[in-house]
Chain A
Amino acid sequence: MTRPGQQPSSGITAAPSGPGGADAVRILAVGSEGGPGFLPGLRAWAAELQVELEWAADLPRATRLLAAGRWDLVFAALGERPDEELAWWTDALRGAPGPPRLVALADRPSMGLALRAEKLGVLDVVALPLRREVFASVLARVRCAATEVALPLPAAAADPVGQYALVGQSPAMLEVYKLMARVAGSTATVLIEGESGTGKEVVARTIHEHGPAARGPFVAVNCAAIPENLLESELFGHEKGAFTGAVARKIGRFEQAGGGTLFLDEVADMSLALQAKILRAVQEREIERVGGGEAIPVTVRLIAATNRDLKEAIAQGRFREDLYYRLAVVTAQLPRLADRGDDLLLLVAHFGRLFGERYGKRIDAISDRALDLLRGHRWVGNVRELRNVIERAVIVAADATLRTEHLPDELRAEDTGADDRPQQGLPALAEVEARHIARVLTHTGGQIGAAAEILGIHRNTLTRKMKEYGL
């Protein structure tokens, strides 16, 4: 039998064997054993269902046990501040070996708590007192998840672009490659449009590297990252003493990019005043440093990118139309990851190998369930988000296969486990409404006004419903 402090041979990823076997499911239960209504029969059920069980009476003891060995499940009783405790638990488990899945136990859990738990990747929220059939059902889900099948990752041809690479063979990407080939040879200004994380900078670098200015520098400026009051000096430079903090003369990015390409990322985030100065630089081919009176000629190829609809921004008076037409001599539209079909698998293979090399691991497979989860995800952050997910998965992977347990909580939360979850019937209308509201609030980053607008209801109604559902 494996005890905390020892390293069990494997966790839930292997099929469970008999009682006390090396592969037995290991459960850590946290809470006062004698507390009112808390897990009265858990010890007996654990023995009956052939799982190992340890108790920790409080959080510090639980943390010590978590650090000392590998656990498959943690049953944690939430106290008076269930939301905070839930967040704490998911965070604490993220750093534990495994990491284990969480089953949260609460007195009369609200719908809001259940939804938040789902978002955090909690396996289940269970009402106290715990019943045997619920315990058995949770256990069945964990055991079922152990039956993942490894699928070999395909070879992914990658065209390296600096520290990045262009990966993909989907029709949508082939169109992008064709456009890049057409514009690279010219010095035309290019506007690259596409959602966040679709690879706008990689495309810009590729155009630069295959263009006439390839020997010159490629200088990228992220207009969304730099504080508004510093962006002008970042782009055009400044003379010493031009403003507080101008401790020395600074050469701006326009000058740095001389003879090469200047890539203005998130160009829609510039103020109108700065847009006017950019327009002048593009038209006159000269700039002035902040605090300097001298006109400095610059020869740069300009590539701009945005994740916003610039035409809509023009209509709203937030973007200069004349600058738009100066930038959009050629326009490239990058596809969303969701529209790239099997590129997803190629990208997983590419990132798996890339990060495998970086972290000294060999990654050559992904489990069927994990791949299903990746395919079904919304990918708001497109390839950038996928890259992040795979990097994290590679870090925590113990062997050459990426599995669901290596994916972030948010993604695992999308695992409905339809085949092993007990049939609970159709959801009530209120539950559907609560879920939808929660989803929209996530989309708006919790901004009630924007969420109310999307939902088509008054913000007061939304506030009332949020209170009602405990969101």
Chain B
Amino acid sequence: MRVEQALRLLPDLEALMPLRGLLLASARPDERIQWGSGGPYLTVGKRAVEPGELASRIDQVLAVVSAHVASLYRAYVEALERQEQGDSGSAVTALLSAGRLEERADRAPQAAAWYEVALALAEGLQDRRPEVETLLALGHVYLGTGQYPEGARHYQRALVLAEAEFDQAGAIDASAGLGSVALERGEWGGAQAWYARALRLVEAGGDRLRVGRIEHRLGLLVRRQGDLAAAGDHLRRARECFEELTASREMAEVLDAQGQLDAALGRPSAATAAYREALAWVRRGEERDAGLEVGVRLHLAELFLATGRLLEAEEEMRRAEQLAITSNLTRRLVQIYVLLGKLRGQQADETGFVFFEQAIELCRTLERSPVEEARVYHEYGLFRHRCGGPDEARAHLEHAREIFRSLGVETEVEQVQAEIETLTA
């Protein structure tokens, strides 16, 4: 049975989300379909799923779910005990640990719910540091889910409190967080100011890991502003910090950014080498970070796409797809399908619309991220425009613009608006 058929038999209940994940992760491509004329359009929905295999893996999934729920219950009971003992600070810590468990399981809304409870408790404490910690955690979650105004509000509150409490680390993280929110919203000046402030604070303390992280973010910022030489300097400084600490994950991230910079500078060989080294650092890490690996592979595929190496681009996307499916990375899967759709658009292949439809389906049923959905509609609109469907192109672009507007991402709103106007002209 195909995944798209199997999913239709599964009600949209939260309790069944792990089963949905299992369904996708156990889906396998059929060799016959792969080489058929439908092969180039194969998506996870067209993969095959075998009920027997699903049955054999249910216990494994239930054990993971049960361990996760048990950890949450234990964290809650610990919070309760600490509260009863009058140690509310430790109760906040216990609630935060539950939220972090949810974040690690890629359940951002649930993490936010734990953090909100922790915040209500922390607000009543005389010691304000747990409140700073909780506000930072909330800012981080909202930043990750694209809820930028919420993210900014929490980071701002964290900063005010951290400064009042002389909490240096809290002030650094809050400033860097505000910089990241501004960066995502395209507010370059604001991002520059916040990062510069965070860097001044962190350099005084000599925390090389934090210095590296902020340099990395500054590199991303100035690259988006178009100052590629300065971006290179920031990334080099970030790499020096991470390499001396042998921080594998951070090295992989900064090399990924270096690859994008080299690509923007028209140096495809250097970009490829940076991406390949990034993958080596991912592999070197303690735990394999599949999300990061897929991200690097996507950038590598984009590079191939931009340089007309379509066959290699597709191969890289398919490798990323396989990893995203087996690791249950729905958001990444959405990005992969958008890129595959772009590839088909570049080949003037109208049937490429199936990738955008699959991405939208995933956004609706599994990922539920408005910013991702807006990006899909944006690219879908451009694809339709390229393949000669002006009415659909306009409708998709308008839909994307409205979602971006509701999220307060003005740079994206302006970009999509300009594209709509081009269609009219």
Measured in the bound complex, the distance between the Cα atoms of B100 and A127 in whole Å is 42
Measured in the bound complex, the distance between the Cα atoms of B251 and A265 in whole Å is 47
- Inter-chain contacts of B392 with A (CB < 8 A): 247-248, 250
A209 within 8 Å of B (CB atoms): no
A449 within 8 Å of B (CB atoms): yes
Measured in the bound complex, the distance between the Cα atoms of B277 and A371 in whole Å is 34
Query: Is the beta-carbon distance between A248 and B395 smaller than 8 angstroms?
Result: yes
Residues facing A in B260-295 (CB within 8 A) are 272-273, 276-277, 279-281, 283-284, 288
- Count of chain B residues with a beta carbon within 8 Å of a chain A beta carbon: 49
Among the listed A226, A250, A384, A447, which residue makes an inter-chain contact with B48, where contact means beta carbons less than 8 Å apart?
A: A447
- Inter-chain contacts of B34 with A (CB < 8 A): 381
Measured in the bound complex, the distance between the Cα atoms of B383 and A452 in whole Å is 44
Give per-residue flags for B3-45: 1 if the beta carbon is below 8 A from chain A beta carbons, else 0. 0110000000000000000000000111111111111111001
Known: A227-B357, A228-B5, A247-B391. A384 touches B52 (CB 8 A): no
B311 within 8 Å of A (CB atoms): yes
A168 within 8 Å of B (CB atoms): no
Query: Is the beta-carbon distance between B32 and A200 smaller than 8 angstroms?
Result: no
Measured in the bound complex, the distance between the Cα atoms of B396 and A204 in whole Å is 34
Residues facing B in A53-74 (CB within 8 A) are 58-60, 62-64, 66-67
Contact stretch, chosen from A84-92, A115-123, A151-159: A84-92
Measured in the bound complex, the distance between the Cα atoms of B45 and A228 in whole Å is 10
Shortest CB–CB separation between residue A457 and chain B, in angstroms?
14
Give per-residue flags for A366-406: 1 if the beta carbon is below 8 A from chain B beta carbons, else 0. 00000000000000111011001001100100000000000
Among the listed B276, B358, B396, which residue makes an inter-chain contact with A247, where contact means beta carbons less than 8 Å apart?
A: B396
- Inter-chain contacts of A59 with B (CB < 8 A): 280-281, 283-284
Among the listed B4, B50, B56, B272, which residue makes an inter-chain contact with A227, where contact means beta carbons less than 8 Å apart?
A: B4
B319 within 8 Å of A (CB atoms): yes
A269 within 8 Å of B (CB atoms): yes
- Inter-chain contacts of A225 with B (CB < 8 A): 37-38, 40-42, 46, 351, 354
A41 within 8 Å of B (CB atoms): no
B312 within 8 Å of A (CB atoms): yes
B106 within 8 Å of A (CB atoms): no
Residue of B nearest to A56 (CB): B280
Residue of A nearest to B251 (CB): A60
Query: Is the beta-carbon distance between B277 and A64 smaller than 8 angstroms?
Result: yes
Measured in the bound complex, the distance between the Cα atoms of B276 and A126 in whole Å is 25
Give per-residue flags for B80-97: 1 if the beta carbon is below 8 A from chain A beta carbons, else 0. 000000000000000000
Known: A224-B33, A395-B312. A448 touches B52 (CB 8 A): yes
Measured in the bound complex, the distance between the Cα atoms of B284 and A249 in whole Å is 53
Shortest CB–CB separation between residue A466 and chain B, in angstroms?
12
Measured in the bound complex, the distance between the Cα atoms of B38 and A265 in whole Å is 9
A459 within 8 Å of B (CB atoms): yes
Residue of A nearest to B316 (CB): A95
Residue of A nearest to B391 (CB): A248
- Inter-chain contacts of A449 with B (CB < 8 A): 50, 52-53
A23 within 8 Å of B (CB atoms): no
Query: Is the beta-carbon distance between A88 and B391 smaller than 8 angstroms?
Result: no
- Inter-chain contacts of B395 with A (CB < 8 A): 247-248
A343 within 8 Å of B (CB atoms): no
- Inter-chain contacts of B280 with A (CB < 8 A): 59-60, 62-63, 92
Residue of B nearest to A463 (CB): B56
What is the total of A-B residue contacts with beta carbons within 8 Å? Answer: 134
Indicate the member of A201, A380, A447 with the most B CB atoms within 10 Å: A447
- Inter-chain contacts of A388 with B (CB < 8 A): 311
Residue of A nearest to B38 (CB): A224
- Inter-chain contacts of A162 with B (CB < 8 A): none
Measured in the bound complex, the distance between the Cα atoms of B32 and A385 in whole Å is 11
Residue of B nearest to A249 (CB): B391
Among the listed A58, A227, A307, A392, which residue makes an inter-chain contact with B36, where contact means beta carbons less than 8 Å apart?
A: A307
Measured in the bound complex, the distance between the Cα atoms of B361 and A463 in whole Å is 34
Query: Is the beta-carbon distance between A266 and B38 smaller than 8 angstroms?
Result: yes
Query: Is the beta-carbon distance between A447 and B50 smaller than 8 angstroms?
Result: yes
Known: A226-B354, A227-B357, A395-B312. A448 touches B36 (CB 8 A): no
Known: A247-B392, A449-B50. A380 touches B32 (CB 8 A): yes
Query: Is the beta-carbon distance between A227 and B354 smaller than 8 angstroms?
Result: yes
Query: Is the beta-carbon distance between B36 and A196 smaller than 8 angstroms?
Result: yes
Among the listed A66, A230, A307, A459, which residue makes an inter-chain contact with B276, where contact means beta carbons less than 8 Å apart?
A: A66
Shortest CB–CB separation between residue A389 and chain B, in angstroms?
11
Query: Is the beta-carbon distance between B4 and A445 smaller than 8 angstroms?
Result: no
Query: Is the beta-carbon distance between A60 and B277 smaller than 8 angstroms?
Result: yes
Query: Is the beta-carbon distance between A391 and B311 smaller than 8 angstroms?
Result: yes
Measured in the bound complex, the distance between the Cα atoms of B39 and A382 in whole Å is 13
Query: Is the beta-carbon distance between B50 and A450 smaller than 8 angstroms?
Result: yes
Query: Is the beta-carbon distance between B357 and A230 smaller than 8 angstroms?
Result: yes
Residue of A nearest to B288 (CB): A84
Measured in the bound complex, the distance between the Cα atoms of B264 and A223 in whole Å is 39
- Inter-chain contacts of A66 with B (CB < 8 A): 276
A197 within 8 Å of B (CB atoms): yes
Indicate the member of B30, B35, B50 with the most A CB atoms within 10 Å: B35
- Inter-chain contacts of A266 with B (CB < 8 A): 36-38
Residues facing B in A384-431 (CB within 8 A) are 384-385, 388, 391-392, 395
Query: Is the beta-carbon distance between A385 and B35 smaller than 8 angstroms?
Result: yes
Query: Is the beta-carbon distance between A63 and B276 smaller than 8 angstroms?
Result: yes
Shortest CB–CB separation between residue A333 and chain B, in angstroms?
16
Query: Is the beta-carbon distance between A228 and B4 smaller than 8 angstroms?
Result: yes
Residue of A nearest to B30 (CB): A445
Query: Is the beta-carbon distance between A201 and B50 smaller than 8 angstroms?
Result: no
Measured in the bound complex, the distance between the Cα atoms of B391 and A249 in whole Å is 9
Query: Is the beta-carbon distance between B5 and A380 smaller than 8 angstroms?
Result: no
Shortest CB–CB separation between residue B418 and chain A, in angstroms?
20
Residues facing B in A284-330 (CB within 8 A) are 307
Among the listed B46, B309, B361, which residue makes an inter-chain contact with A224, where contact means beta carbons less than 8 Å apart?
A: B46
The 5 A-B pairs of least Cβ separation, nearest first, read: A381-B35, A224-B38, A247-B395, A225-B41, A248-B391
**7 contacting pairs across A/B (C-beta < 8 A):** A62-B280, A201-B37, A222-B41, A227-B354, A384-B37, A388-B311, A392-B311
* Seed contacts A63-B276, A380-B31, A448-B53; 8 additional CB < 8 Å A-B pairs: A60-B280, A63-B280, A67-B276, A200-B37, A222-B37, A226-B41, A228-B5, A380-B35
Binding site for A on B (CB under 8 A): 4-5, 28-42, 45-46, 48, 50, 52-53, 56, 251, 272-273, 276-277, 279-281, 283-284, 288, 309, 311-312, 319, 351, 354, 357-358, 360-361, 391-392, 395-396
